[in-house]
Structure 1
Amino acid sequence: MTETVDVKIGVVGTPGKWSTEALADALEAGTGFRLVIDMGQVTLDLAGGRLLYDGMDLATLDGLVVKKIAESYSVHALDRLEMLRIAEAQGVKVFSRPEAILRLMDRLACTVTLRNAGAPMPPTIITEDAQAAFKAVCDFGSAVFKPLFSTKARGMFVLDHDAPDAQARIAAFKAENPVMYIQKKADLSGQDLGMVFLNGTYVCTYRRIGESGSWNTTINSGGKYAPYEPTPDLIALGHKAQAPFGLTFTTVDIALTPEGPIVFEVSAFGGYSGALKGCGVDAMALMADHVVAEVSG
């Protein structure tokens, strides 16, 4: 951006966190306006149609960028997205649209959308029945139990079919997660991919290389970013996976297994750090340019 545009665009995120503040910086560079919004401090006046934060009605802004809706995924975070629909209904452009993000935060909603789009995924069982869950573990040999609301492998664990305490661990998981999401453990060979898209256009792909001894490659578990050059077929798979969600910025998590590539999930929030550290791409600046152009156009 060489000149500032007179529009007011706020960032919904976590005040003080690098990704939120960096995106706010990029938008400020293009508009001269800066506002970081903690949804935990937002009040909805439904009758008045006002979304209030620190004395400001967010429905008077030109745009909102949702970098992070909450520190952890939960049904409460879904409620925060519903609140943003009030501002959207009054003409505020929201990136990505709340209804699009809603389809991603619940792991099952994301999975069903990917399955209906024909994206290859690991064998997966969803059940509320403990015996059906145990049978899935036996059939898979080794399974990953995943909460419906979680990121970066939080709350997940691997369970082998011959574990002596398998049924007790299933019961403990079910007590916290009545709907159990059970996926066959994939052979990741120590890495998986993050494929970045901006408004449906391919940007870049980075690798997450797992720490030795860790079953997952997340940065929280010691994983590291590295560059990766995908084939055209792999990029086409990423396009196919992200297309049904209609997100402004997204990352598709893909693993290359001996049986072929599989898609784990599509993210509404992640990928900025991976793009920068793994690809050398400033996705914050790209996103800010796109949003300012959309709002001012």
Structure 2
Amino acid sequence: MGTEDLTTLDMMVVLDLGGHDMGVFFHRVGLLTALHDMGVEIVNPVNSILQMRNKAECMRRLVSAGLPVPETLITESIDEAAKFVREHAPCVLKPIMGFGGVGVQLVQDQFDLSHILDYLKFYGHVSGRGAYLLQEFVNGLGFDIRALVVDGEVISTMQRVSACGIVTNIHAGGTPRVNDIDVDDIALRAAKSVRGRMVGVDIIPD
């Protein structure tokens, strides 16, 4: 965050909390909380940031809001994870905390131990313990849609096509293109469920 005097700001828009380093992450959470207490407007609020970076909590809120989500298992048991894969393969394995598609892997028909080890290595670096978030693989139209919601209004949407594999994030090599599918309603409901002022919502069209 540099050496600027952040207490002179009227507003701070937060784009990255350093999710790959827990020390950096919690330092920045504490800093943002202190700035908020000093009167600096933080977008998004710290509580919303924490909720949105926690995929398990996001899933709970999306389900509670009645939004369609893939069938999901969140567990610390490798046996339960293996059972889910056997019943739902192919499926997607994600770190519970993360962003940008980092650590997202497609698990094929047989439970591939290398995927789990890669995941545990990644998540162990973040939090020091293993938990699995597995979802059924939704084979959509070959792309997803990113909608940007700001203060209860969808201000932009785009389609994202993966360059390779299942990750469509632009910085990971995905290709953006114009979106002509109306996703405003579901995007607004999703953003409202996590109580964020500026929210990126990912939607798989069918």
CA contact 1:130–1:174 (8 Å) conserved in 2: no
Q: 1:169 to 1:236 in 2, by over 3 A?
A: closer
Q: After superposition, where does 1:248-267 map in structure 2 within 5 Å?
A: 248-257=197-206
Counterpart residue number, 1:292: none
CA contact 1:59–1:90 (8 Å) conserved in 2: yes
Q: 1:171 to 1:202 in 2, by over 3 A?
A: closer
Percent identity of equivalent pairs:
22
Q: After superposition, where does 1:137-152 map in structure 2 within 5 Å?
A: 137-152=85-100
SS state of the match for residue 13, structure 2? strand
Moved more, 60-69 or 176-185: 60-69
String of CA shifts for 1:221-269, please: whole Å, max 9, x gaps.
43211111233xx311111100122323221100013xxxxxxxxxxxx
CA contact 2:145–2:158 (8 Å) conserved in 1: yes
Match of 1:160 among 86, 102, 108: 108
Cα distance in structure 1, aligned partners of 2:16 and 2:119: 27
Counterpart residue number, 1:293: none
Counterpart residue number, 1:132: 80
Question: What TM-score do the two structures reach when normalised by structure 2?
Answer: 0.85
* 1:67 Cα deviation from its structure 2 partner: 2.5
CA contact 2:71–2:136 (8 Å) conserved in 1: yes
Compute the RMSD of aligned alpha carbons.
2.1
Q: 1:149 to 1:250 in 2, by over 3 A?
A: same
SS state of the match for residue 82, structure 2? helix
Match of 2:161 among 187, 209, 215: 209
CA contact 1:133–1:170 (8 Å) conserved in 2: no
Between Structure 1 and Structure 2, how many residues are aligned? 199
Cα distance in structure 2, aligned partners of 1:185 and 1:141: 8
> Which aligned segments of 4 or more residues in structure 1 are displaced greater than 4 angstroms?
none
* 1:161 Cα deviation from its structure 2 partner: 2.6
Q: 1:199 to 1:78 in 2, by over 3 A?
A: farther
CA contact 1:200–1:246 (8 Å) conserved in 2: no
Match of 1:190 among 142, 161, 170: 142
Question: What TM-score do the two structures reach when normalised by structure 1?
Answer: 0.61
Q: 1:169 to 1:119 in 2, by over 3 A?
A: same
Counterpart residue number, 2:34: 86
Q: Which has the higher contact order (CA 8 A, sep 6+)?
A: 2
Counterpart residue number, 2:15: 67
Residue segments in structure 1 that go unaligned for 5+ positions in a row: 1-37, 42-52, 258-297
User: Larger C-alpha radius of gyration, 1 or 2?
Assistant: 1
Q: After superposition, where does 1:17-96 map in structure 2 within 5 Å?
A: 38=1, 53-54=3-4, 56=5, 58-70=6-18, 72-76=19-23, 77-96=25-44
* 1:167 Cα deviation from its structure 2 partner: 4.2
Residue segments in structure 2 that go unaligned for 5+ positions in a row: 124-129
String of CA shifts for 1:175-218, please: whole Å, max 9, x gaps.
6541111111110332000111111112121100222x523322
